[in-house]
Structures are given as structure tokens and as C-alpha cells.
């Protein structure tokens, strides 16, 4: 197109300063790249929200310019040799901290003039997730454009504002969707956007308040305990608060979905975007505004290179779930239209609108459905054919066969998934209640992973089902009018013609290879060469580590304090006394177990009272034999070997156990430090039954380890902790390299989720068998002093 003064798009933008919001997003990144490459005369002001860790400039450097989107531009600049990419960026791009969800955009006094000096503002910031909580969708999607307009009014400037919206503002309608405001259409129900904002803010307050009622808090606490077990106060508190926050979020997501549905939109995203357009139109005043509405944006057709994509969007997770065999059915109408548009076409349309200025159509839709429709069935066929030819491989290296698509109705799929979900949830609950350990527990944890897969599939169907069933056809008349005014050079440089896409070629040749590459899915047969466990083990056994902390029971030995007590207590008993002892202990077992479940350290204190009146010298003497007789016989040789491997590597080793010091004395040569419980001794040389040093449990273990590290000048991040149960979670979380040993189900699930090393250590199979943990009977004359 020749503009009034005869200049082309690039020339039109030369000398212009363009502000961009949402530049770290998918469209934003592509927009920045295209402007820098194809409109060399313009300069950019990027409004980026500072994160907790990084300011705007740093975020831009990390999140935008490191993206492979810029590889082409970097190459071209290097070939030209005039200036480096960094020099060009320094010359043309400035980043300022800004946030569209804050009034006044959160600009500082120093940054405001930079923003005020812009000729064009392209607003592409959005909460694009379909399942955003209602309030945050409202703040960003609805109020974002309003705040930009108001900021301009406040600064008394009138730059050209180009807002990026979505075709789906049209809502759940069928047939023709024109390039016009929804609020001005036939079917508008006359919503007041200010009331919607107020309502969403109120809802946030209500749900927050509800989440803090005693009833809810008790529920969160019990859920946290179910998940973590006896992990100690702080860990439970943090988990409880975590659960509360996610509950609030889930409630707001649900609220968004139902509010949107109640007023005719598929989800909160489309609903807030539609109201955002309406609001912007209402508040824009003398600000020149244009709106660009893309449909579903997918990977690039050609620019900067075919298949470029950033982040995982709507279709990708669904497609990959299908390729992985997780999703065998997805609702949709076979002859329905899936309105997909490559990102470079969208970007070219936005740039053209920006270059054209206010004379461009008020609303331009960038969609494919009306001129070059992609039918759901032909898309599915292309996907299936491609994955049949290029299957993904499972962890065993076997190709995954993709199922045939049956185009079921959404209701049926949802029903099936809901059924699978409830079975999985029930199985999980049963498994968690079982006292599983080690390999079985890991297996139970893998079932949980299956459950999560089902959950995810259910979410996809819930979220995206509407889009594959959408029967609206988005008109692109105005877009094509603009297209026709461009001359051949601009058309070549800024292609936004939806008719130029060959769908089969695009799906098989560009999109699928790109997303499979991005997903890092396994695309070659055979078992992975690098075993994850071996890799983790190697990082744990690296000379760079500092400290290795070990729990004792079920981590290094398969015994417990009750057994060592029994052994010591019966060492000097004769047969009838032994029988009485066993019977008495069995009778007490349920009480003991109950106390133990409630609080580990209470249990230990309560139990250790039994040592009252025991002569210290006798216990010391008998404890020496305890090592051979009980501890070593029940030890995990691989565990003991691991302790020694750490020592050989120069790591400090520390044993942190609730057992009594004399019971673990035999293990002294393995450890630099042993932290154990200690009984106080009376002047007459007997134990008092009271604690001199309380048994370290839960978060105290993490503290002990942290103190040890700081006193020895060692780094906790470079330390390793080995433990078997969630009661040691604080310690495991405190270190850089946690290892779950023979984990019980809950810990197995956590370890799996967080990618921790899991070790399965077993007793030596030739260990002498012990029916009851009783000390070997002494000869009559040696049973001098007896305690019970």
C-alpha cells in the first residue's frame, strides 16, 4: 500500500516510538522481533512488570531476547557487520517497569516521560489462560485497556492505541461474526462493565472470607495432614496456607467460568476480553484506537522461521496428550471449523494497523474460518497420520500407537473421564491408607500420576471442548480490504492473508514437528541412555557436596526404638519373664501406635520412660551386643555402603535419629556427628526415664542440620538428606539434594512429583531370621541385675 505520502509500512514506522505491553508473551515477542527486523527505523518502549527477582530490563534480556525468535535477526546483523544485536537493542529498545493491572500503570516519575513520548501503543498484555481466576482476568483483560487509555488522558497525550483482543469475544454464537463491537450487535444483553468489575472484586473478598472460616481452615489442615503426615508444625502450616490459596483460586476460576457461561461466553477469557473492548470504546475519548482480533494463534507459518512458537498454548497440550496415548477421545464436530491462525500473520496484521493509523478499520479480525477453513476432521486426520508415521516413544522405548478419533459428543467424553477420575481417586485413597513402603509405595505413587493425567484430560475437555465445537464464523472482510490496499512489496514483507495457509502442509510440515521438538517428548526408540536415577545418584555422590544427613529407622536399618528396647529389656530375662514381657507389650501395642500417629516426639518421650531405673553400666554393656545382634542384622547394607561412600568423598556424615544415644553408639564410626535422644542419669547410676536431650523430630531436624552446616561453614544447598517418611519432610526440603529411601506412599508421591532421587534399600537376604526382637538368653549366673 502506498500511504498518502507514498511511504510503505516500514517507512511509515520509521522514526516512530512504539510502546508495547505483553512483550514477554507469545504475540508480544513475535511483535518485538518483527518490528526490530522489518521496521528498522522504529524504536520500542517495552512495558514489563518487574518480577520478584528481576526488574524490567533484566526480564526483557532474559525472557525476550534470549528466545530463539531472535536467532534470525542476530544472524542477519552478524552477516551485515554494521552493529551487533546487543548494540542495536541498546540503541532502539528501552524497558520500563509497568503493570496494566495497577492504576496509572505503575510507572515511576522517571519512566513516565518515556511512555508519554510514544507515538503508538500496542497493547497485547492479557491473561490468556482460559482458566484464570475471575478477578485477575477482570483486572487484566477488562481493566487493562481502560487503564492505558486513562493513563494517556492523565498525561494529556494522544498516541495511536492498537488493542489486541480475540475473535472469541463473539461468544457462543453460531454463524457469521462481524468485525464490530459485540455491545453494538443484535444479541447484546446490555451488560454494564463497571458493575461486573465491582462484582468480581466483591466476590474475591467473599471467597477469601469464606476460606478463612473455622470449618474451611480445619478442612485444609486435615487435608494437609493427609498429604504430609506427621511432618511437623511449620511444614503443615505452609501446606495448609497453600491449600487455602489454591482453594480460593479454584473457586474464582469456577466463578469466572460460570459467570461467563451465564452471560453467553465460553469462558472468563472471552467474557473479560469482550467487556474490555466495550470499556475501552467507552473511555477512549479523543484517543485514536484500533482493535485487532486474532482467533486461536498457533506456531509461525514463515516468520521469523516456520514453526516458531513460544510456550505451550491451547492445542499443544491436547495434541501431545493424544500422541502420548493419554487422551483417546476429544469432543468435537467433524465438519466443525477450528479457527487457527499462525502467529506471524497476526503480527503482520497488527503492524499494518499500527502503521496505517486511526484510518484503519476500528476492528479487524485475523481468522481463517471464513476464507480458508480448517475442518476439525481433516485436522484430526492430519495429526493422526503424522503421529502414526512419527510416533512418540514411551519410557520403555516402545512406540505409542495413537488411537482412532471417534468424534464423540462432549457429554460422553466428560462422563467417561469423570468415571475414570472417581475410580482413580478412590484407588488412591485406599492405597494411601495402606502401610506401603518402598517399591509398592512407588507403584502407588505412579497410580497417582495416572490420576493426574486423567485430571488433566478432564480439564482440557472442560476448557477447550467449546472451541472445537464452536460454530461461529469470523468475518475478515475488513482485514482483506486492508490487504488489498498493500502493494506487492508490503504484501511480501508483511503477509497477513489467511488464504495463504495450506493447512495440511502447515500441520504436518510445520506445526507438529515444532511442538514435538518443543515438548522434548521421546522421538527415538530404545531405552533412554541416561537413566534418571543414575544421573541423580551421580549428582548426590559428587565431590562438590558437603554434608550427608541420615535418618536411621527404615532408612539405614529396618528396626525401631521399640525393638531395641525389647532386645535390651529381655536380655536378662528368663523364659517365663520373656513370655510375660511379650504379652504385655502386645497388649500395649494399640495405645503406643495411637500416640505415635499423633505426635512422634510425644511417643518417644512416653516410651523412653520405660528405661526408668535401668542401670547405666548394664545398658552400656548390653548395647555393644545390640549392634551385632539387632542393628547389623537388620541393616540395609546398601545404605551403610552409601554412608561410607559419602565419607570417602570427603563429605561430612551426620545421623539424626529419635533413638537413644546408647542404642546407636555402635554406628559411631560411620558418622562425623550423631544427634540422638539422651536420658538423664541419676546419681546412683540408673536412668531416670526423663529426657536429658529430647529426640529430634520434624522441623527440629532441619534446624539441627542447618545449624551444623553453618557452624562447620558448609552449604545446606550442597547437602544431602536421606529419610523414609514425610515426618522428615522439613529436613528433606531444607537440603539441595533430598533422597527418599524406601518411602511410604505419601513420601513416594512427593518424591515423584518433585523429581527426587528414590532409593530402595533392603536387608541382606542372608540375615539371620528373628521372630521377635528379643535378646539372646543369658546363662543363669550372668543375669545378675534385671530391670523391667
Partner 1 sequence: MPRPGFVLEVDRSTPSILFWRGENFSLEKLPAGRSRVIYPPEPLDAIKDIDGAIRHALLNPIDQDPLPALLFPGMKLTIAFDDVSLPLPKMERPDNRQRVIEAVLDLVAEAGVDDVHLIAALGLHRRMHEYELRHALGDRIYDAFHSRGMLYQHDAEDHDNLAVIGTTDHGEVLEINKRAAESDLVIYVNINSVSMDGGWKSITTGLASYRCLSFHHNPETLENTRSLMGHRHHSALHTSVWRLGKVLKDHGPKIFQIETTLNTDMFPKPFEFINKREWEWTAKDRATFLGTTKALNRTPIKLARKIFHGMEGPHQMTSVQAGETEAVHKLTLEHVYKQQLVEVQGQTDILTMGIPFVSPYNPDGVMNPVLVMCMGLGYLFNMYRNKPLVREGGVIIMTHPTYRDFNPVHHPSYIDFFEQVLTDTTSPAEMSRKWEKQYAEDEWYKHLYRTGNAYHGVHPFYAWYWGAHGLQHAGKVIIVGGDAPTVRRLGFTPASTMDDAFEIASDVVGRNATITHLHVPALLVADVQ
Nearer to partner 1 by Cβ, of 168 and 662: the residue is 662
- Of 99-107, 265-273, 429-437, 757-765, the window that binds partner 1 (rule: CB under 8 A) is 757-765
Q: Is the CB of residue 223 less than 8 Å from the CB of residue 432?
A: no
Is the torsion defined by CA of 744, 750, 753, 759 positive or negative? negative
Cell, residue 215: 470449618
- Of 124-132, 289-297, 499-507, 761-769, the window that binds partner 1 (rule: CB under 8 A) is 761-769
Nearer to partner 1 by Cβ, of 640 and 691: the residue is 640
Smallest separation (angstroms) from partner 1 to the CB of 629: 8
Smallest separation (angstroms) from partner 1 to the CB of 642: 11
Pick from 113, 116, 89, 99: which is nearest to 21 by CA? 99
- Of 259-267, 465-473, 637-645, 689-697, the window that binds partner 1 (rule: CB under 8 A) is 637-645
Question: Which residues, in sequence order, are bridge partners of residue 365?
Answer: 293
Count of residues engaged in binding partner 1, rule: CB under 8 A? 28
Instruction: Pick the binder of partner 1 from 624, 707, 710, 788 (CB under 8 A).
Output: 624
Instruction: Determine the Cα–Cα distance for residues 42 and 89; give it in Å rounded to an integer.
Output: 12
Smallest separation (angstroms) from partner 1 to the CB of 599: 33
Q: Which residue has the cell 499462525?
A: 342
Nearer to partner 1 by Cβ, of 470 and 654: the residue is 654
Smallest separation (angstroms) from partner 1 to the CB of 585: 24
Q: Is the CB of residue 575 less than 8 Å from the CB of residue 777?
A: yes
Instruction: Pick the binder of partner 1 from 181, 632, 704, 706 (CB under 8 A).
Output: 632
In the range 652-681, which residues lie near partner 1 by CB under 8 A?
666, 668-670
Instruction: Pick the binder of partner 1 from 21, 141, 514, 629 (CB under 8 A).
Output: 629
Smallest separation (angstroms) from partner 1 to the CB of 669: 4
Instruction: Pick the binder of partner 1 from 263, 283, 616, 627 (CB under 8 A).
Output: 627
How many CB atoms within 10 Å of residue 6?
7
Question: Which residues, in sequence order, are bridge partners of residue 73?
Answer: none
Using the rule CB under 8 A, is 644 a contact of partner 1? yes
Expressed in angstroms, the distance from the first to the final Cα of the chain is 100
Instruction: Determine the Cα–Cα distance for residues 495 and 352; give it in Å rounded to an integer.
Output: 10
Nearer to partner 1 by Cβ, of 625 and 733: the residue is 625
Pick from 46, 58, 220, 203: which is nearest to 124 by CA? 46
Smallest separation (angstroms) from partner 1 to the CB of 645: 9
Residues 6+ apart with CB under 8 A from 359: none
Q: Which residue has the cell 454494564?
A: 192
Using the rule CB under 8 A, is 763 a contact of partner 1? yes
Smallest separation (angstroms) from partner 1 to the CB of 636: 9
Residues 6+ apart with CB under 8 A from 231: 239, 698, 726, 727, 728, 729, 730
Cell, residue 321: 496428550
Smallest separation (angstroms) from partner 1 to the CB of 647: 8
Nearer to partner 1 by Cβ, of 175 and 776: the residue is 776
Question: Torsions phi, psi of 774, nearest 5?
Answer: -110, 145
Using the rule CB under 8 A, is 575 a contact of partner 1? no
Pick from 696, 690, 685: which is nearest to 723 by CA? 696
518 φ/ψ sector (left φ>0, alpha ψ -120 to 50, else beta): alpha
Smallest separation (angstroms) from partner 1 to the CB of 691: 27
Nearer to partner 1 by Cβ, of 326 and 767: the residue is 767
Instruction: Determine the Cα–Cα distance for residues 319 and 597; give it in Å rounded to an integer.
Output: 45
- Of 62-70, 321-329, 535-543, 768-776, the window that binds partner 1 (rule: CB under 8 A) is 768-776
Instruction: Determine the Cα–Cα distance for residues 686 and 682; give it in Å rounded to an integer.
Output: 5
Using the rule CB under 8 A, is 640 a contact of partner 1? yes
Element (H, E) at 759: strand 757-759
Instruction: Pick the binder of partner 1 from 116, 767, 783, 786 (CB under 8 A).
Output: 767
Nearer to partner 1 by Cβ, of 54 and 537: the residue is 537
CA angle 768, 773, 779 (to 5 degrees): 85
Nearer to partner 1 by Cβ, of 358 and 637: the residue is 637
Nearer to partner 1 by Cβ, of 167 and 655: the residue is 655
CA angle 331, 332, 337 (to 5 degrees): 155
Smallest separation (angstroms) from partner 1 to the CB of 618: 15
Say which DSSP state 184 is in. Answer: G
Smallest separation (angstroms) from partner 1 to the CB of 639: 11
Nearer to partner 1 by Cβ, of 304 and 773: the residue is 773
In the range 157-216, which residues lie near partner 1 by CB under 8 A?
none
Instruction: Pick the binder of partner 1 from 53, 186, 781, 785 (CB under 8 A).
Output: 781
Using the rule CB under 8 A, is 760 a contact of partner 1? no
HEC-encoded secondary structure of 283-348: HCCCCCEEEEEECEEECCCCCCCCCCCCCCCCHHHHHHHHHCCCCCCCCCCCCCECCEEEHHHHHH
Using the rule CB under 8 A, is 616 a contact of partner 1? no
Q: List contacts with partner 1 (CB under 8 A).
A: 624, 627-629, 632-633, 635, 637-638, 640-641, 644, 648, 666, 668-670, 763-769, 776, 779, 781-782
Amino acid at each position: 500500500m502506498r500511504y498518502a505520502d507514498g511511504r510503505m509500512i516500514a517507512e511509515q514506522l520509521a522514526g516512530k516510538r512504539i510502546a508495547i505491553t505483553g512483550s514477554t508473551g507469545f504475540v508480544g515477542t513475535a511483535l518485538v522481533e518483527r518490528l526490530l527486523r522489518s521496521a528498522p527505523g522504529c524504536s520500542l518502549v517495552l512495558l514489563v512488570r518487574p518480577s520478584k527477582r528481576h526488574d524490567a530490563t533484566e526480564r526483557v534480556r532474559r525472557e525476550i531476547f534470549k528466545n530463539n525468535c531472535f536467532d534470525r535477526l542476530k544472524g542477519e546483523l552478524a552477516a551485515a557487520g554494521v552493529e551487533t544485536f546487543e548494540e542495536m537493542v541498546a540503541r532502539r529498545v528501552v524497558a520500563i517497569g509497568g503493570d496494566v493491572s495497577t492504576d496509572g500503570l505503575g510507572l515511576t516519575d522517571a519512566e513516565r516521560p518515556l511512555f508519554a513520548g510514544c507515538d503508538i501503543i500496542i497493547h497485547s498484555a492479557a491473561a490468556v489462560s482460559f482458566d484464570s481466576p475471575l478477578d485477575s482476568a477482570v483486572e487484566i483483560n477488562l481493566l487493562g485497556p481502560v487503564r492505558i487509555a486513562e493513563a494517556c488522558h492523565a498525561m494529556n497525550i494522544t498516541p495511536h492505541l492498537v488493542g489486541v483482543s480475540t475473535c472469541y469475544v463473539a461468544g457462543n454464537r453460531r454463524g457469521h461474526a462481524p468485525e464490530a463491537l459485540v455491545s453494538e450487535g443484535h444479541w447484546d444483553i446490555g451488560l454494564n462493565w463497571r458493575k461486573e468489575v465491582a462484582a468480581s472484586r466483591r466476590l474475591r473478598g467473599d471467597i477469601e472470607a469464606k476460606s478463612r472460616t473455622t470449618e474451611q481452615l480445619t478442612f485444609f489442615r486435615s487435608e494437609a495432614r493427609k498429604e504430609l503426615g506427621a511432618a511437623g508444625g511449620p511444614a503443615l502450616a505452609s501446606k495448609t496456607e497453600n491449600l487455602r490459596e489454591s482453594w480460593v483460586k479454584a473457586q474464582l476460576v469456577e466463578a469466572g467460568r460460570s459467570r461467563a457461561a451465564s452471560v453467553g461466553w465460553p469462558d472468563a477469557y472471552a467474557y473479560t476480553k469482550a467487556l474490555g473492548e466495550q470499556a475501552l470504546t467507552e473511555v477512549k475519548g479523543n484517543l485514536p484506537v484500533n482493535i485487532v482480533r486474532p482467533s486461536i494463534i498457533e506456531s509461525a507459518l514463515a516468520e521469523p522461521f516456520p514453526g516458531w512458537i513460544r510456550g505451550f498454548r491451547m492445542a499443544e497440550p491436547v495434541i501431545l496428550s493424544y500422541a502420548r496415548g493419554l487422551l483417546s477421545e476429544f469432543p468435537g464436530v467433524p465438519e466443525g471449523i477450528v479457527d487457527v491462525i499462525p502467529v506471524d500473520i497476526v503480527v503482520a496484521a497488527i503492524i499494518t494497523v499500527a502503521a496505517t493509523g486511526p484510518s484503519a478499520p476500528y476492528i479487524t479480525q485475523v481468522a481463517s474460518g471464513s476464507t480458508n477453513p480448517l475442518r476439525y476432521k481433516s485436522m484430526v486426520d492430519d495429526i493422526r497420520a503424522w503421529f502414526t508415521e512419527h510416533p512418540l516413544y514411551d519410557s520403555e522405548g516402545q512406540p505409542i500407537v495413537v488411537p482412532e478419533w471417534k468424534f464423540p459428543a462432549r457429554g460422553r467424553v466428560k462422563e467417561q473421564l469423570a468415571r475414570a477420575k472417581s475410580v482413580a481417586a478412590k484407588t488412591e485413597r485406599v492405597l494411601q491408607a495402606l502401610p506401603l513402603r518402598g517399591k509398592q509405595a512407588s507403584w502407588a505413587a505412579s497410580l497417582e500420576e495416572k490420576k493426574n493425567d486423567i485430571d488433566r484430560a478432564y480439564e482440557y475437555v472442560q476448557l477447550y471442548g467449546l472451541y472445537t465445537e464452536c460454530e461461529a464464523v469470523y468475518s475478515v472482510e475488513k482485514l482483506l480490504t486492508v490487504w488489498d490496499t498493500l502493494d506487492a512489496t508490503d504484501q511480501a514483507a508483511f503477509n497477513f492473508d489467511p488464504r495463504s495457509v495450506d493447512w495440511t502442509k502447515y500441520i504436518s510440515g510445520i506445526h507438529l514437528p515444532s511442538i514435538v521438538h518443543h515438548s522434548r517428548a521421546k522421538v527415538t526408540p530404545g531405552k533412554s541412555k541416561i537413566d534418571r536415577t543414575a544421573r541423580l545418584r551421580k549428582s548426590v555422590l559428587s565431590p562438590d557436596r558437603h554434608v550427608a544427613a541420615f535418618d536411621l529407622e527404615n532408612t539405614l536399618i529396618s528396626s525401631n526404638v521399640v525393638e531395641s528396647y525389647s532386645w535390651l529389656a529381655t536380655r536378662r530375662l528368663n523364659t517365663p519373664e520373656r513370655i510375660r514381657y511379650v504379652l504385655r507389650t502386645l497388649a500395649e501395642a494399640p495405645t503406643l501406635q495411637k500416640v505415635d500417629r499423633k505426635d512422634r516426639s510425644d511417643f518417644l518421650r512416653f516410651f523412653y520412660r520405660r528405661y526408668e531405673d535401668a542401670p547405666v553400666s548394664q545398658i552400656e554393656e548390653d548395647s555393644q551386643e545390640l549392634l551385632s545382634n539387632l542393628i547389623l542384622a537388620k541393616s540395609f547394607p546398601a545404605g551403610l555402603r552409601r554412608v561410607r561412600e559419602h565419607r570417602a568423598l570427603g563429605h561430612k556424615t551426620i545421623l539424626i535419629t529419635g533413638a537413644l544415644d546408647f542404642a546407636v553408639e555402635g554406628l559411631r564410626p560411620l558418622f562425623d556427628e550423631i544427634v540422638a535422644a539422651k536420658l538423664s542419669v541419676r546419681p546412683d547410676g540408673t536412668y531416670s526415664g526423663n529426657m536429658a536431650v529430647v529426640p529430634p523430630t520434624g522441623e527440629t531436624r532441619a534446624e539441627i542440620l542447618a545449624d551444623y552446616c553453618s557452624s562447620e561453614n558448609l552449604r545446606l544447598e550442597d547437602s544431602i538428606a536421606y529419610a523414609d517418611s514425610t515426618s522428615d519432610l522439613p529436613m528433606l526440603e531444607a537440603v539441595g539434594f533430598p533422597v527418599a529411601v524406601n518411602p511410604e506412599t505419601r513420601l513416594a508421591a512427593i518424591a515423584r512429583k518433585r523429581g527426587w532421587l528414590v532409593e530402595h534399600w533392603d536387608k541382606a537376604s542372608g540375615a539371620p531370621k528373628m521372630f521377635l526382637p528379643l535378646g539372646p538368653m543369658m546363662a543363669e549366673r550372668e543375669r545378675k541385675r534385671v530391670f523391667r
